[in-house]
């Protein structure tokens, strides 16, 4: 069983972000991400973003959500440049600052971090940091948090199997 004591203490202190890169519960995921090829991490992040975006689009009628998904995926495929996709990512961060529901605001941040993974794989852990923070704010139990953690590992394994099927931009393809 994972220990979420430090994160629950941060919640009691009214912190917005409950998990961070030094969270003990995230260390195995960070190690897995760090040891994976860039195309695998990018595939993982885009798959997680698709899942989160599909949830948010049911709650918010923002054309930004599907537009951001298209722009970032095309950037990852080499069909667009970073300067074409970056405004969408920055807009997601801005939206997170105006959303009243703190849970959903954290999910918008998770989405922006996930899409930023196309730029650098170091952003991938932001998906877990913000999504797990959102879940904890919503009252998730330790077992629910562990289940989500497990889903990240499953998603990474799926990405390992599917990353080769994608057409990647040269800057992703040539980074190992």
User: Model confidence over 28-72: pLDDT tens digits?
Assistant: 999 999 999 999 999 999 999 999 999 999 999 899 999 999 999
| Residue 84 within a domain | yes
- H helix intervals, the chain: 5-12, 27-34, 38-59, 64-77, 82-98, 102-116, 125-137, 142-162, 170-173
| Residue 20 within a domain | no
| Residue 119 within a domain | yes
| Residue 4 within a domain | no
| Residue 114 within a domain | yes
For residue 48, what are the domain limits? 37-173
pTM, 2 dp: 0.94
| Residue 25 within a domain | no
| Residue 140 within a domain | yes
| Domains held by the chain: number | 1
> What are the tens digits of pLDDT across the range 116-175?
999 999 999 999 999 999 999 999 999 999 999 999 999 999 999 999 899 999 999 876
pLDDT at 121: 95
| Residue 73 within a domain | yes
């Amino acid at each position: 069983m994972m220990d979420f004591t430090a994160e629950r203490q941060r919640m009691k202190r009214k912190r917005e972000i409950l998990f961070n890169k030094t969270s003990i519960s995230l260390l195995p995921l960070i190690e897995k991400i760090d040891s994976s090829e860039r195309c695998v991490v990018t595939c993982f992040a885009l798959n997680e973003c698709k899942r989160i975006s599909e949830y948010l689009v049911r709650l918010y009628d923002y054309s930004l959500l599907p537009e951001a998904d298209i722009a970032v995926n095309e950037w990852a495929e080499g069909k667009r440049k970073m300067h074409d996709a970056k405004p969408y990512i920055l807009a997601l961060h801005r939206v997170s600052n105006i959303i009243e529901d703190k849970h959903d605001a954290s999910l918008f941040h998770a989405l922006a971090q996930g899409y930023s993974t196309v730029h650098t794989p170091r952003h991938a852990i932001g998906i877990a940091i913000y999504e797990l923070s959102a879940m904890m704010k919503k009252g998730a139990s330790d077992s629910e948090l562990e289940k989500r953690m497990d889903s990240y590992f499953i998603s990474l394994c799926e990405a390992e199997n599917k990353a080769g099927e994608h057409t990647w931009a040269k800057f992703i393809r040539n980074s190992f």
